């Protein structure tokens, strides 16, 4: 391993890391009996750099192949008040199995320990034993299983009539304090930064909704992203399954003419059955894994891959 060293990712790495993520994940999937997961070209994957650099600049790490100076691996990580989230981890296929993923991960574990942050959280593919093993070997524990579900939204929207849907509205900056409180209650996460960022939507790719009770309380929230690299609903948080169904139904209509993906906790059978009724199809499985303190969810917590949640 002496021919590789780690350093902080910089602006100059943006294009190369985009290529690396595109190659790493696509080659993994295509050599394991699946199609590519990114289909809009390597440059589309620069979106991960852009978003994470907007949110927490200087907190990303690359592994450099010393003889060539080329990048062999990269990982983003996002410190928040009481946790670190990790994603997206990628090692170039030429270097799989040489300990680079482990070194990147140890770097982030050391960062979390040094910063006194008690938990690292991530969502990883349950069909990838390579990914599962990497995290599990370094002390992560799988906590919740999710199925990735795709729903096609026609140009005119799905216009799904479900209870509570008329309680869902666009989020505004004044909602953020209540959004933070809700998520802290339900999943133990705190990330005002992410909600402020997605609502401000300076990159024009986010939408955020909240579910407001008749008493004026924020009982649910959902973010969605639409970009050539990723069209996805989540993160999302709600106290009940009925509320989460209303949030999904409303948010889908912000993506006409596309097929968003979203993670549904496999144990939440009411939501799973409802999404099947909407024509939902499973396309992947993921585990939420955490290392360190863990608070079981007190409601429904939906992770996403951008911004990565766990």
Ligand X SMILES: CC(C)(COP(=O)(O)OP(=O)(O)OC[C@H]1O[C@@H](n2cnc3c(N)ncnc32)[C@H](O)[C@@H]1OP(=O)(O)O)[C@@H](O)C(=O)NCCC(=O)NCCS
Nearest Cα neighbor of 75 from 57, 62, 64 is 62
Q: Of the two residues 40 and 129, which places its CB atom closer to ligand X in the complex?
A: 129
> Please, which residue, 63 or 249, has the CB nearer to ligand X?
63
In whole angstroms, the minimum distance from the beta carbon of 299 to ligand X comes to 25
| Smallest gap from residue 83 Cβ to ligand X (A) | 17
- Reduce the secondary structure of 20-55 to three states and give it as a string: HHHHHHHHHHHCCCCCCCCCCCHHHHHHHHHHHHHH
The residue (of 103 and 239) whose beta carbon lies closer to ligand X is 103
Compute the distance between CA of residue 257 and CA of residue 292 in angstroms, rounded to an integer. 41
User: By the criterion CB under 6 A, which residues form the site for ligand X?
Assistant: 24-25, 28, 89-91, 96-102, 124-125, 128-131, 133-134, 137
CB of 130 or CB of 253, closer to ligand X: 130
Q: CB of residue 18 vs ligand X: minimum separation in angstroms? A: 14
Which residue from 181, 158, 123 is spatially nearest to 277, judged by alpha carbons? 158
Smallest gap from Cβ 241 to ligand X, in A, equals 26
The smaller minimum CB distance to ligand X, of residues 98 and 167, is found at: 98
Q: Between 96 and 294, whose beta carbon lies closer to ligand X?
A: 96
The least distance separating ligand X from the CB of residue 210, rounded to whole angstroms, comes to: 29
Q: How far is the CB of 125 from ligand X (least distance, A)?
A: 5
């Amino acid at each position: 391993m002496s021919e590789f060293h780690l350093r902080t990712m910089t602006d100059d790495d943006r294009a190369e890391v985009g290529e690396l993520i595109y190659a790493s994940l696509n080659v993994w999937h295509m050599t394991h009996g699946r199609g590519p997961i990114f289909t809009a070209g390597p440059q589309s994957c620069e979106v991960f750099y852009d978003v994470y650099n907007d949110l927490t600049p200087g907190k990303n790490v690359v592994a450099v192949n010393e003889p060539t100076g080329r990048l062999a691996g990269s990982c983003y990580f996002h410190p928040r008040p009481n946790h670190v989230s990790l994603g997206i981890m990628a090692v170039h296929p030429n270097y799989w199995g040489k300990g680079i993923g482990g070194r990147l991960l140890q770097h982030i574990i050391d960062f979390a320990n040094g910063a006194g942050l008690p938990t690292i959280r991530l969502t990883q593919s349950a069909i990838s034993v390579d990914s599962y093993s990497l995290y599990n070997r370094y002390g992560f524990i799988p906590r919740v299983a999710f199925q990735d579900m795709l729903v096609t939204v026609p140009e005119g929207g799905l216009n799904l009539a479900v209870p509570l849907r008329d309680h869902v509205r666009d989020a505004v900056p004044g909602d953020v304090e209540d959004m933070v409180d809700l998520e802290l209650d339900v999943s133990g996460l705190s990330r005002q930064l992410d909600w402020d960022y997605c609502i401000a939507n300076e990159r024009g790719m986010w939408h955020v909704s909240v579910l407001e009770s008749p008493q004026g309380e924020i009982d649910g929230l959902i973010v969605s992203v639409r970009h050539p690299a990723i069209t996805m609903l989540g993160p999302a948080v709600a106290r009940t399954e009925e509320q989460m169904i209303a949030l999904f139904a409303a948010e889908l209509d912000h993506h006409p003419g596309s097929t968003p993906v979203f993670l549904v906790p496999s144990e939440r059978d009411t939501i799973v059955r409802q999404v099947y009724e909407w024509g939902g199809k499973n396309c992947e499985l993921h585990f939420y894994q955490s290392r360190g303190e863990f608070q079981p969810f007190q409601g429904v917590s939906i992770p996403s891959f951008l911004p990565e949640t766990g």
